[in-house]
Amino acid sequence: EKNLRNQGILDIQKNILSKDGKFEFELVAKITNFELPFALIPMNMRGDAFFIIDGFSSINIHSLRQYSTQCLEYAKDQATTSVGSQIKNFRIPSNICFSVAVVDNLDQENKRKIRQENPFAHNVDILWYEVPVVYCLSEQQLYFYEKPSSLFEKLQGEGAWKNLRKVIETTLNS
C-alpha cells in the first residue's frame, strides 16, 4: 500500500468483495485518467487503471486466470472514464486491470507458464487490458507475461505489453 501511495495513487480501498462473492480483495487501488504510451501509433491510451491485490496460500495458472477474471469484472463495474471523452482528447480509450496475487512460494512450472502464456490469448476486450501478476514473497519477485514466443503472439498486444511491463515493474516493485 505504501508503494502505491508513493506512486501517487490515492484512491485505495481495503477488503472489497468480488462481484461473484468468491474473493475478498485485500486492496483495490484506482487511478483515474491513467495514461500509457501506445507503441504502435503516436497516441496514448487513457482510462482507469486498477491494481487489485489479494493473498493466496498457493496459485496455479488456472486459479490465477479465475482470480484475474473476477478482478476485471469488479473493475468494469467501477470504471468512470468515458470512451467519447478519450476519443475527443485524441486518446485511445483503454482501461487496465492489474490483478496481483501474492503467494509465499511459486513452483517452477507455474513461473514458466505465467512468464510465457499471453493473457490476451485467453481473454480479449477492446476497451480493457487484463494483466495478471504474481508476487512471490519468498523470492520478493514479480512474475508476469515477459515476452512473445512467436510472431503470432507479437500481434496479440505486444504494442501495449511493452509499456504494461514497465508499469508493473515501477508500480509494484517495492
- Lowest-confidence segment of 27-36, 50-59, 117-126 by average pLDDT: 117-126
Beta strands in the chain (DSSP E): 11-17, 24-37, 44-55, 92-93, 95-103, 128-136, 141-143
Across residues 51-55, what is the average pLDDT? 97
Q: pLDDT per residue over 127-157, tens digit each?
A: 788 999 999 999 999 999 987 666 666 665 6
pLDDT of residue 109: 96
The residue extents of the domains of the chain are: 2-172
User: What span, in angstroms and rounded, lies between the C-alpha atoms of 24 and 14?
Assistant: 9
93's grid cell: 480509450
- Lowest-confidence segment of 22-26, 114-118, 170-174 by average pLDDT: 170-174
pLDDT band for 92, please (50, 70, 90 cuts).
Answer: low
pLDDT of residue 172: 86
Q: φ, ψ for residue 116 (rounded to 5)? A: -105, -20
User: Are 135 and 101 within 8 A, CB to CB?
Assistant: yes
pLDDT reading at 88 higher than 70: no
pLDDT of residue 162: 79
pLDDT of residue 140: 95
pTM confidence score: 0.85
In the chain, DSSP finds a helix count (H) and a strand count (E) of: 6, 7
The angle subtended at Cα 128 by Cα 127 and Cα 133, nearest 5°, is 165
Helix (H) or strand (E) holding 152: helix 151-154
Q: φ, ψ for residue 115 (rounded to 5)? A: -70, -30
> What's the mean pLDDT when you consider all of the chain?
83
Q: Specify burial of residue 133 (Cβ count, 10 A radius: 0-12, 13-18, 19+).
A: buried
Inter-axis angle of helices 108-116 and 61-78, to 10 degrees? 50
Q: Specify burial of residue 22 (Cβ count, 10 A radius: 0-12, 13-18, 19+).
A: exposed
pLDDT of residue 40: 58
